[in-house]
Amino acid sequence: MLAPAAALLLALAAGAAPPAFVAVIDPGHGGVQEGAISPRGVRESDLALEIARRVAARLRKMGAKVILTRTGDIAVPMANRAAIANAIRADLFVSIHLNSMPTVEARRVTTGVETYFLSADATDTHASAVAARENADRLAGDPEPDPNDPVGAILSSLEDAASLEGSSRLAYAVHDRLVSSTGALDRGVKQAPFYVLAGARMPAVLVEVGFISNEGEAERLRAKDYQEKVAAALADGIAVFRKETRAARR
């Protein structure tokens, strides 16, 4: 899994021109980790990968070097996902997921997009439930959190206030663009203890691009033109974040 990262480091060491920026795009789940399932049997892992590929293609056109944490239907340990970003000293990490609700009525009526960045404390009970669902999808062999200190590792992974602030700015940049471009219901930018974000030493966010549990939204997310719209919004949000970051450093 680290071969693309190693190739990038070797190229830079050999004097190759550096990319405009380096992004790691993480398609959630994969392999035995199917994620949530739509009413018509579509898997979250499949749609996340389709959208991630489209985001990567758009970022590459902007001059970015992009690494996908998976390029096929394979399982990747959660700890490895942020480790890939750290290994290549990426400028940002974006994990793509699709949301789900637990009850028949909630599935029928709930739609919209949410964007998260790492925190020991969830914004609300729904954010806590989303994090719990995503965190439960660990592979055998993945390190288990200490039951007496479930967020200790997450707190220690927040390198400093600048890292947290960068993640917050990235979250708002991609979320605002996603809402305005797709017309999806704005469910807000939130914080929650996601293990997939823990350990990332750069701005890192998790985007729930829609509710796969809602039949109408799931079918919309299956459509190639809507996937392109989502991908364009995420790529544009990343570009906005990069522009703001460069301006702040001057």
The CATH number covering residue 136 comes to 3.40.630.40
Grade residue 79 by pLDDT with cuts at 50, 70 and 90: confident
Give me the chain's average pLDDT, please. 86
CA atoms within 13 A on the CB side of 115: 25
Grade residue 136 by pLDDT with cuts at 50, 70 and 90: confident
The pLDDT assigned to 147 comes to: 45
Tokens of 125: 């009970």
The pLDDT assigned to 247 comes to: 77
| Residue 5 belongs to a domain | no
What is the share, in percent, of the chain residues with pLDDT greater than 90?
66
The domain total for the chain is: 1
Cβ atoms within 10 A of the Cβ of 1, count?
16
Residue 117, class by beta-carbon neighbours within 10 Å (0-12 exposed, 13-18 middle, 19+ buried)? buried
Which residues are CB-neighbours of 83 under 8 A, at least 6 positions away? 2, 199
| Residue 143 belongs to a domain | yes
| Residue 9 belongs to a domain | no
Instruction: Summarize the confidence of residues 111-116 as an average pLDDT.
Output: 98
| Residue 241 belongs to a domain | yes
The pLDDT assigned to 30 comes to: 95
Grade residue 19 by pLDDT with cuts at 50, 70 and 90: confident
Residue 90 domain boundaries: 22-249
| Residue 91 belongs to a domain | yes
